[in-house]
Amino acid sequence: MNYKPVKTVCRNSRLAQLQVEEVFSLYPLIKYELTMLKSFGDKHKEISLMDNNVDADFFTRELDQAVLDAKADIAIHSAKDLPYPLPPGLEIYCLTSASYKTDALVDKHNRTLLQLPAGAKVGTSSKSRREELLKLRSDLVVVDIRGSVEERIDLIEKGDIDALIVATCALRRLGLNRLIAEVLPFKTHPLQGNLAIVGRTENEELKSRFAAHDIRRKYGRVTIVGFGPGNPDLLTVGGERAIARADILFHDDLIDRTFLDKYRATKVYVGKRSGKHNCQQDEINEQLYNAAISGRNSVRLKGGDPMIFAHGREEIDFLKSRHIDVTVIPGISSGIALAAYTHIPLTHRGIASSVAFASGHASGERNVPVADTLVYYMAGENMSNVAKQLIAAGRNADTPAAWICDVSLPAQKIGFSTLKELQFSVVKTASPVLVIVGEVVALESRMAQQPNILVTGTSCEEYRGQGNLTHTPLITVERNREANDLLKKAVGEYGWIVFTSRYGVRFFFEILDELRLDVHSFGAAKIASIGKTTSLELAEHNIRPDLEPEPESAEGLIRRFEEIKLSNARILLPRSNKGLPYLPEALEKMGNRVTDLPVYNNMVNKAAEKVDLSRFQKIVFSSPSGVEAFMKMYGRLPEGMLLAARGRTTEEMINK
């Protein structure tokens, strides 16, 4: 069959012409007519390639448009110049192999990189090459240059630069390999040296003529499979078939490894957990790519669904931009599975008609979804931020919430709460924790058994009715023997007296009685109470506080004082000897003077006895000293249960 010459277009340079000749040397029976065009990048050498805003088709746009307009049949490009994705209507007919994928140093005096003197000017047009160069020689000066390889080499002859970094393959194609002073140990673009034949998608006949030397024919394929929330019974049939066919299997933490033992594939663990990454994402991407170009069929097995908080699209883009065939098989996301395994519906007639999924790692006011039911992934150590932001965004603090870990597994745990409690709570566990917020939670929480709650503070009255309480006070309080003298010295005019606990109230007024003083001894001071329990103690002295914050915490107090723009005030702070500096420091930062008055001592309760922590679903801490006492007694904070704190400072102690 006589074929017409293939109308071919390339860039207007000697290197591009040689690349065309190299391609057609693979197809000696195919005749071609060559047109050379200047690309936008060739016309605008004043534009730096170091600029992140350079368009992806900087060197290919005019050539590809000529093909789309049928002015050419194919365009031949350096594969690393191709945009991703290709313009609609175009596809790669052939990706050629590459012999030289390295960078080389060109130097007039044939010096290696280490032999260049400090301050030597090294030319490059690549941001990545600049970064690689400065890793090895931060004392060199990088000069941003543009132009053909010959024009760049000429800059050395003129003395504008001392050395040049350029692709080894370019020098060899131009017959200039004699100029190579050293092959550099740089990480280069994966497609460096490869050439791409690009044509119109509808021209199947022409595509078939170039297929013989397409190295992608030898590539393996990558299948990204969702394993589900952990229970192998939830793996899809399609997912199981892909695993059975795989040569190599890249899996993470959420996969039942014993289940995988029956498959022949090589298993590679690439697990990632918060703060504990066996592999970084870019390393996983590289492993998938290298397996594919070596001809192995790979499965990337992910917990849940690959496209929900699982980096699925990142892996797809990485592989497809390198011309690897990728397919995705969905899995049951844990946010969906929790509904079945907890019986908490995500939607319910008359209660919730919308649901949103969000990442606990990205909690923030701008990220608060608008939906009846919210499901937060990876929320164990971030649930307090999630709850605070939801309340700040207008959600009722009494909105029901639940936390779930190990969804679908025998170790599954669930706890019920409210946003108000969760804003100072954490669940410590190596397993991912989901938090579901919305009125639908009440459908199940009101039917659940009462939780067993361990209260570690000095009182448990405020927790009555929340569950089966075990009160084991880990701290005890007694009046500070020096408080009388301290209080005498503190008598004077104050704008505010701030009480942060009922014991502060109790011992303050005991001392006043002994000294035959009253609250008026401190001028016309207004009274602030940290919360309801403290206010009840004040009521015993016929005092109603002028200010009581929501939430009941030190930061709640500060927020209220900021709202009323309190400054230039003298403030008395009767409290524990172990009161943390956050409150007085914040008040002083607002321009106030604070007298910190330790009216009682907070001590470890030596009479407290250990209890079996496995019986409890929740532990309540009312002070940082209570957390410290717990750690001394038990050695560490338990995992897999709600650790509820009274206020931010106590929460911070839990998170230490």
Q: Which two tokens stand for residue 400?
A: 């029901």
The alpha carbon of 329 is separated from its chain's Cα centroid by a whole number of angstroms, namely 23
**Interacting residues of 258 by C-beta distance below 8 A, sequence separation 6+:** none
- The active-site residue out of 108, 127, 272, 428 is 272
Whose structure tokens read 């992910």?
302
Q: What b/e string do you get for 299-323 counting C-beta neighbours within 10 Å, with b at 16 or more?
A: bbbbbbbbbbbbbbeebbebbebbb
The Cα–Cα gap between 271 and 56 comes to 32
Q: Which of 391, 437, 395, 320 is nearest to 553 (CA)?
A: 391
Q: Are 139 and 113 in contact (CB under 8 A)?
A: no
Helix 312-320 to helix 281-293 angle, to the nearest 10 degrees? 40
Task: Output the CA torsion sign for 419, 422, 423, 424.
Answer: positive
**Amino acid present at 436:** I
What CA–CA distance (Å, rounded) separates 223 from 378?
25
- Calculate the alpha carbon distances from 568 to 91, 498, 528, 530, 597 in Å: 71, 15, 17, 21, 19
187 in active site: no
Separation in Å, CA 137 to CA 65, 105, 117, 121: 41, 13, 10, 11
Going edge to edge, which strands form the sheet with 593-604? Answer: 475-479, 593-604, 570-576, 496-499, 526-529
Q: Give a three-class secondary structure readout of 150-186.
A: HHHHHHHHHCCCCEEEEEHHHHHHCCCHHHEEEEECC
- CA distances 278 to 222, 283, 400, 509, Å, are 21, 10, 36, 58
List of E strands, 113-162: 121-124, 141-144
SS (H, E, C) 406-435: CCCCCCCEEEEEEHHHHCCEEECCCCCEEE
Say whether 406 is catalytic.
no
Active-site choice (64, 81, 252, 406): 252
CA distances from 570 to 26, 35, 222, 532 (A): 88, 84, 68, 24
Chain position carrying tokens 């009922």: 502
Q: Respond yes or no on whether the N-terminal peptide bond of residue 85 is cis (omega within 30° of 0).
A: yes
Question: Is 480 exposed, middle or buried, given 0-12, 13-18 or 19+ CB atoms closer than 10 A?
Answer: buried
Q: Confirm if 654 and 637 have CB atoms less than 8 A apart.
A: yes
Place of tokens 């150590």: 381
Write the CB contacts of 119 (distance below 8 Å, at least 6 apart in sequence). 139, 140, 141
Active site residues: 252, 272
